[in-house]
Structure formats: C-alpha cells, structure tokens
C-alpha cells in the first residue's frame, strides 16, 4: 500500500541558504509521526511544502496520491498552524461553520465539533475574547472537519494545559485508528515519546534520524545509568566492586553501554545481600535528541 | 464554487457588521446625501428641472468622491489583514481558490455598499418627492445613479484588494489606498484641466483628453450620469467639458472597470506567497 504522505529527496533554498536538503520521509495510514528539531531546523518549511503553500526546489512529494496544494490534496489534508489565529470579530461557531462550508460540509455540525474540543460553552463568544489555549482548540476543531486523510499539525499542544494535552492526544489516537496519517511537530519531547509511533529528527535542514524510539535509542548507543542503593554501610563495598561508580548521596551510580547492561546487572545481583534497591535509567528522549542534533553540528 | 463564495461572503458580512463598517457606510452616505439635498434645493427654479433630477446631479458629484472612498476603506484590509493576522496560510490550505476568496469578499462588500447607497439616495429622494410632486420624473436618473454607483464601488473594491495583496501590510495598503483615491478622484481631474488649459484647443484637448477621461472610472461614472440626464448644465469642471463623449463609451468603461480591477486583484493575490 502506498503511504499517505511520501517525500523523496526534497530540497528547498531561501536566498542561497539551504532550508531543507535531500529530505525523504513517509507517513502511512493510521501512523502518528513526530517531527522534532530546533527552531529553524526546517520543520515549518517542510510542512508548508507538504501543504503546497510554498513550492519545493527539487524532489518528489506525493500527498494522498496527488501533488501538494492541488484541489485533490487540499480536500484531504488538514492543517493546524503554530499559534493558530483567527479573525477576532468572529465567534468560534461562525469560524468553524465557515471552514465547514469551505470543505463542503453542513455547518450544522459546527457545535458538535466545538463540543468535541471542549469549547461548546464559548461557541457564541468572539474569538477575540478567547485565551491562547482556546484559540488552539478552535484550530484543532477545524483540523477535524471532514475526516482528513492527512493531518499536519505544527506544535499542536503549545498553549494547552496538561489535561487538554491528554484530551488532544486521545483525539489523535481516535483519528489514527480511523486511518488518518498524522505528522506533528513538537518541542514537548516527553509527550511525543508516549504518544507517537515514530520520530523524525530534523537538524539544519537534514533528516538526521528516523525510527521508533527504541530503534533510535539502540542507534544512539548512549550509556545506561544504573542506580544502586546499598544496605546501610555497604556502599564502600559497592564502590570497591565498581571503581568507576560515583557516590551520589545515599546511592551509587554506575554507567555502562547498552550491550553491557545485563552483565553489569548480574554483577550487582551477585552482591545481593548488600543491595537494598536498584533502578535502571535508560537515556531520556532529550538525551537521544541532543545526541542526533549535536552530531550534525547544531 | 458558489457555496464557497457564499460562505466567504457570509463570514465577511459578520466581520463588517461587528467592525461597524455597515453602520459607518450607511451613516456616511445618508448624512452627506441629506446635506446635499438641503443645499442643492436652491437653484431648482432657474434650471426648469424637477427637484429630484437636480438632487441626482448633486449626488453624482458627491458619489464620485464618497463611493470610491468607502470602497477603498472596506477593501484595503482584505488580503494584508489576513497576512498580518496570520490567518492566510490556514485559509489557503482549504479547498478554496484565491479567486473564490476575492469574489466572496467582493460579494459581501458590494452588498454593504448597496445598503448604504439605497439608504443615502433613498433619503435624498424621499425629501425631493415630499417637497416637489413633479420630482417623480427624476426616478430614472436616480436608478441610473444607483447602479452605476455600484459598478464604481465594485471597481474601487477590486483596486483595494489588489493594493492589499501587493502591500502585504495593512498600514502599507491603507497608505496606497489613500494615494490611489487622491490620484484618481482628485488630482487626475486637476491635472487634466491644467493640461487642457495649457494646450488651448490643441491635439491634447481633442484626442487625448476624451480617452484620458474614459480611462479613469471615476470620470467615466460622472460623465455617464451627467450626459444621460442631460444635466451637464448643472455641473462644472471636467463634467461640463465632456459633453462630447458618446454615452456608450462611458458606459463601456464603467462596465469594464470592475472586471479589470477584479482581474488585477486576482493576479496580485495569486502572486502573494503566504
């Protein structure tokens, strides 16, 4: 089956500066893919090209089987811009009804859509009176219109409180289960870690890493930390057994490579009668992200 | 396509209503029309025309200034405002053409203009008919003034959209709009008159001058209305000097200008990268 979004060797240059060079990626039906990168890494440029708002210099892009920005692609793609803004004189209901009409949907469903994002109580108030989080939810509501095949979401959870974030990702899970392909960018690494199927890391306009979190973790081969709490007084024995370990307060911290993890644990387990507790701390997404971004010279 | 144009128009009318543009346009037209019909009532006996026809002649001179002004005020923000608010990129990812967006805005703004014109001209007509029963003879001229005012307004709405797309900033578009209004409505005529006086009946006056009048929508509007109601006697300046232009030419200019302006606006909007 062909992916919903398929991009190969995409290049874009602004006034001689390469914003994107040789970027390839694909997002399939029902897949939730996170696009990570520093500010200026090329995420928004990539999204604008997928939406057909700006043309690419070179490369092949296929959006739902057609060219980006054409009528066929636009009918199937929904977009949530970073910091979604709307005309302040319109009410939330009027704004959503307008977008529904543009997609050929009956505006009667506008209220139900606002209810779905938790804005029913403010539907008849002007958007000018909304908070940032409420505007973001109007943006989310418009992205849900008409069962899009591909959702392109630029930092969708910025400005949302933790509960709204959870609700938002539940909505996304539902859409993905119905077959929508989702590409979202974010700076909130921990939530992306739990809520997406695959990560793409963009750095300086280049795709520096791609894969599931576990695959990236293996590829980065960052050291694993093992934190051991000794039974009273035995920490000296632990430090003798592991000369590279560091004493941190009441615990002893060891580091080892991914491959040595089990051997190290076995060594610790051999000291069973001196150990009170043990924690294995895998490298965080932040560390993995920093590893790949730094490698490309960022 | 019709559905998307209609949806855009409905939204624009909501915005214009909330931003008081409907109210401002109506009040402007009514106040100026009433003032003119009060002032313009003096010379009725001398001309031997009915009172409404004289009012229409005065309203024509008023509308040449006011209709383009109101149209530009409503339209200068159309594209630049969307760019500044950041609403344009999202709108352009929807399955709606840029031409459809402009047509929707044009439909809404024209409707508001029509409401304002009917209120203003209607108030003036009511006063004329109430004080002079013979004034009903002037209804033909009033009807002609109304639909030509709509065409003139549509032209300047289109010009406003084009400026708005070119400027990309609302403040820049406002400046350009004021410049175009001054240029086409005020300075253009002054320049032509100065040239005619300097030329003293030469080639400019006989060849270039009539074409120059047709090329300006405001002049075409004024001359069409004054010639059609044979009211050139009540007019002065450029209007009086242009009795020689055939009616069909000014009518053609009036009808072509809205199309040309909208075409220009669409071209400018297509070029704008969000």
Last residue of a domain, one of A171, A186, A218: A218
Region for residue B42 given its phi and psi (left: phi exceeds 0; alpha: psi -120 to 50; beta: otherwise): alpha
What is the interface size between A and B, counted as CB pairs within 8 Å? 70
Q: What is the DSSP string of chain A?
A: ---SEEEEEEEEEETTEEEEEEEEEEE-TT-EEEEE--TTSSHHHHHHHHHTSS--SEEEEEETTB-TTSHHHHHHEEEE-TT----TTSBHHHHHHHHHHHTT--GGGHHHHHHHTT-GGGTTSBGGG--HHHHHHHHHHHHTTT--SEEEEESTTTT--HHHHHHHHHHHHHHHHTT-EEEEE-S-HHHHHHH-SEEEEEETTEEEEEE-HHHHHHHHTPPEEEEEEESTTTHHHHHHH-TT-EEETTEEEEEE-STTHHHHHHHHHHTGGGEEEEEEEPPPHHHHHHHHHHHTT-
Cβ contacts (< 8 Å) between B95 and chain A: which residues?
71, 74-75, 102-104
Q: Is A246 on the interface with B (CB under 8 A)?
A: no
Query: Averaged over B197-224, what is the pLDDT?
Result: 85
At residue A180 the predicted structure's pLDDT band, cuts being 50, 70 and 90, is very high
Q: Per the CB < 8 Å rule, is B18 touching A90?
A: yes
pLDDT, average across residues A121-137: 92
In this prediction the pTM is 0.86
Residue A158 lies in a domain: yes
Residue A288 lies in a domain: no
Extract the runs of DSSP E, i.e. beta strands, from B33-126: none
Per-residue pLDDT tens digits for A24-70: 999 999 999 999 988 888 888 999 999 999 999 999 999 998 989 88
Residue A289 lies inside a defined structural domain of this protein: no
Using an 8 Å Cβ cutoff, are B160 and B106 in contact?
no
B242 pLDDT band, cuts 50/70/90, is low
| Cα–Cα distance, B83 to B77 (Å, whole number) | 9
Q: With 60 as the cut, is the pLDDT of residue A18 above it?
A: yes
Asked if residue A298 is part of any domain, the answer here is no
C-alpha to C-alpha distance for A200 and A142, rounded to whole angstroms = 25
Of B4, B6, B85, the CB nearest to A85: B85
C-alpha dihedral sign at B60, B64, B65, B66: positive
pLDDT: is B271 or A296 the higher one? B271
User: Which of B6, B18, B95 has its CB closest to that of A103?
Assistant: B95
CA distances from B17 to A53, B13, B27, B207 (A): 31, 6, 13, 46
CB contact A265 to B (< 8 Å): no
- Shortest alpha-carbon distance between residue B102 and chain A (Å): 14
Domain shared by A195 and A171, yes or no: yes
Kindly determine whether residue A74 and residue B19, on different chains, have CB atoms separated by under 8 Å: no
Tell which of A102, A141, A144 to mutate to test the B interface (max B CBs under 10 Å).
A102
Identify which of B158, B170, B19, B163 has the alpha carbon closest to the alpha carbon of residue B87: B170
- Phi and psi (nearest 5°) for B184? -75, -35
Residue B182 and residue B228 in contact, taking contact as beta carbons nearer than 8 Å: no
Q: From residue A141, how far is each of A110, A116, A120, A157, A196 by CA, in Å?
A: 9, 8, 11, 13, 20
Is any Cβ of chain B less than 8 angstroms from the Cβ of A135? no
Give the whole-angstrom CA distance, residue B104 versus residue B12. Answer: 8
Distance CA A85, CA B85 (A): 7
Instruction: Collect all residues of chain B within an 8 Å Cβ-Cβ radius of residue A82.
Output: none
Residues A270 and A200 in one domain: no
Buried residues in A168-190 as b, exposed as e (16+ CB within 10 A)? bbebbeebbeeebbbbbbbeebe
Could you tell me the end-to-end alpha-carbon distance of chain B, in angstroms, rounded to an integer?
A: 22
pLDDT at A298: 45
Strand-pair category, A246-248 with A251-256: antiparallel
| Domain count within chain A | 2
Q: How many Å apart are CA A56 and CA A78, to the nearest integer?
A: 20
Q: What is the pLDDT confidence band of residue B173, given thresholds at 50, 70 and 90?
A: very high
The C-alpha atoms of residue A242 and residue B150 are separated, in whole angstroms, by 89
In chain A, which among 168-207 make CB contacts under 8 A with chain B?
none
Residue A265 reports pLDDT greater than 90: no
Average pLDDT over residues B75-95: 92
Answer whether B220's CB lies under 8 Å from B253's CB. Answer: yes
CA–CA distance, B195 with B164 (Å, rounded to integer): 32
Residue from the list B7, B85, B273 with its beta carbon closest to the beta carbon of A98: B7
Distance from the B119 Cα atom to the nearest Cα atom in chain A, whole angstroms: 25
- The answer to whether residue A51 sits within a structural domain is yes
Same domain membership, residue A147 and residue A14: yes
Residues of A in Cβ contact (< 8 Å) with B15: 87, 89-90
The two beta strands, A246-248 and A32-36, are unpaired
Task: Answer yes or no: is A17 within a domain.
Answer: yes
Q: Out of A218, A244, A264, pick the residue that ends a domain.
A: A218
- Regarding beta strands A198-203 and A32-36, do their DSSP bridges make them parallel or antiparallel, or are they unpaired? parallel
CB A125 within 8 A of CB A91: yes
Evaluate whether residue A104 is within a structural domain.
yes
Q: For chain B, what is the total number of helices (H) and then of strands (E)?
A: 15, 0
For an interface test with A, give the residue of B8, B12, B81, B94 to mutate (most A CBs within 10 A): B94
Using DSSP bridges, classify how beta strands A77-80 and A150-154 pair: parallel, antiparallel or unpaired: parallel
The answer, for A77 touching chain B at a CB cutoff of 8 Å, is yes
- Nearest chain A Cα distance for residue B44, angstroms: 47
pLDDT at B233: 52
Q: Interior CA angle at B200 toward B196 and B205, to 5°?
A: 45
CA distance, residue B79 to nearest chain A CA (Å):
13
B240: how many CB neighbours lie within 10 A of its CB? 13
CATH number for the domain that contains residue A277? 3.30.70
Domain that holds residue A252: 223-282
How far does chain A reach from its first CA to its final CA, in angstroms? 36
Please state the rounded mean pLDDT for residues B39-68. Answer: 77
pLDDT at B234: 52
State the complex-level ipTM: 0.86
Q: Are strands A224-230 and A275-281 parallel, antiparallel or unpaired?
A: antiparallel
Return the residue in A89, A145, A183 with the most chain B beta carbons within 10 A, the one to mutate for interface testing. Answer: A89
Specify whether A85 is located in the same domain as A174: yes
Classify the phi-psi angles of A79: left when phi > 0, otherwise alpha if psi is within -120 to 50, otherwise beta. beta
A200 shares its domain with A254: no
Whether residue A292 lies inside any domain: the answer is no
Question: Do B15 and A104 count as a contact with CB atoms less than 8 A apart?
Answer: no
With beta carbons less than 8 A apart as the criterion, state whether B18 and A116 touch.
Answer: no
In a shared domain, residues A151 and A261: no
DSSP secondary structure letter of residue B272: -
Same domain, A229 and A207: no
Cβ–Cβ gap B273/A54 under 8 Å:
yes
Q: In chain B, where are the structural domains located?
A: 2-271
CA B85 to chain A, closest CA, distance in angstroms equals 7
Cα of A122 to nearest chain B Cα, Å: 17
Report the alpha-carbon distance of residue B48 to residue B39 in Å, rounded.
17
Work out the average pLDDT over B21-32: 91
The CATH number of the domain where A48 resides is what?
A: 3.40.50.300
Within this chain, do residues A183 and A257 fall inside the same structural domain, yes or no? no
CB contact under 8 A, B95 and A90: no
Is residue A144 domain-shared with residue A162, that is, in the same domain?
A: yes
pLDDT of residue B107: 96
Q: Could you tell me if A71 and A108 lie in one domain?
A: yes
| A208 and A258 inside one domain | no
Are residue A54 and residue A198 in the same domain, yes or no? yes
Which member of A53, A89, A126 has the closest CB to residue B274?
A: A53
Calculate ∠ Cα A59-A63-A69, nearest 5°: 85
């Amino acid at each position: 089956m062909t992916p919903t979004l398929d991009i190969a060797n995409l290049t874009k240059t602004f006034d001689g500066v390469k914003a994107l060079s040789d970027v390839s990626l694909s997002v399939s039906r029902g897949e939730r893919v996170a696009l990570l990168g520093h500010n200026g890494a090329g995420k928004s440029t990539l999204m604008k090209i997928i939406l057909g708002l700006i043309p690419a210099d070179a490369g092949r892009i296929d959006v739902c089987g057609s060219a980006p920005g054409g009528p066929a692609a636009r009918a199937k793609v929904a977009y949530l811009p970073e910091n979604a803004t709307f005309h302040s004189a319109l009410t939330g209901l009027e704004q959503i009804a307008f977008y529904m009409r543009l997609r050929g949907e009956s505006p009667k469903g506008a209220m139900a859509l606002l209810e779905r994002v938790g804005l029913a109580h403010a539907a008849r108030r002007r958007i000018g009176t909304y908070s940032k989080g409420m505007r973001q939810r109007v943006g989310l509501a418009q992205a849900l219109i008409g069962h899009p095949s591909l959702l392109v979401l630029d930092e969708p959870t910025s400005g949302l409180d933790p509960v709204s974030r959870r609700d938002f990702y539940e909505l996304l899970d539902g859409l993905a289960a119905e077959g929508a392909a989702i590409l979202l960018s974010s700076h909130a690494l921990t939530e992306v870690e739990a809520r997406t199927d695959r990560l793409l890391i963009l750095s300086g306009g280049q795709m520096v890493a791609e894969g599931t979190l576990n695959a990236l973790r293996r590829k980065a081969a960052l050291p694993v930390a093992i934190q051991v709490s000794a039974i009273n007084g035995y920490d000296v024995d632990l430090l003798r057994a592991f000369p590279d370990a560091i004493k941190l307060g009441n615990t002893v911290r060891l580091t080892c490579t991914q491959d040595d993890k089990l051997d190290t644990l076995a060594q610790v387990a051999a000291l069973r009668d001196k150990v009170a507790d043990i924690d294995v701390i895998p490298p965080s997404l932040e560390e993995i992200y920093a590893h790949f971004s730094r490698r490309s010279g960022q | 396509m019709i559905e998307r144009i209609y949806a855009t128009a409905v939204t624009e009318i909501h915005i214009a209503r909330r931003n008081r543009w409907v109210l401002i346009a109506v009040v402007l037209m009514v106040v100026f029309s009433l003032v003119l019909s009060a002032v313009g009532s003096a010379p009725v006996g001398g001309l031997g025309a009915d009172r409404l026809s004289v009012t229409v002649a005065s309203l024509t001179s008023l509308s040449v200034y006011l209709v383009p002004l109101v149209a530009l005020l409503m339209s200068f923000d159309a594209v630049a405002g969307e760019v500044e608010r950041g609403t344009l990129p999202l709108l352009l990812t929807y399955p709606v053409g840029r031409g459809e967006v402009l047509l929707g805005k044009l439909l809404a703004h024209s409707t508001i203009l029509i409401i304002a014109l009917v209120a203003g001209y209607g108030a003036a007509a009511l006063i004329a008919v109430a004080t002079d029963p013979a004034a009903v003879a002037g209804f033909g001229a009033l009807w002609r003034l109304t639909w030509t005012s709509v065409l003139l307004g549509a032209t300047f709405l289109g010009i406003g959209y084009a400026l708005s797309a070119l400027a990309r900033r609302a403040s820049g578009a406002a400046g350009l709009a004021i410049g175009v209004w001054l240029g086409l409505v005020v300075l253009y005529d002054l320049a032509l008159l100065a040239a005619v006086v300097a030329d003293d009946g030469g080639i400019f006056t006989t060849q270039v001058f009539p074409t120059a009048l047709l090329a300006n929508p405001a002049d075409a509007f004024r001359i069409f209305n004054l010639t059609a109601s044979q009211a050139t006697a009540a007019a002065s300046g450029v209007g009086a000097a242009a009795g020689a232009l055939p009616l069909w030419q000014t009518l053609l200019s009036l009808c072509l200008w809205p199309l040309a302006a909208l075409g220009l606006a669409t071209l400018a909007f297509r070029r704008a990268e969000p």
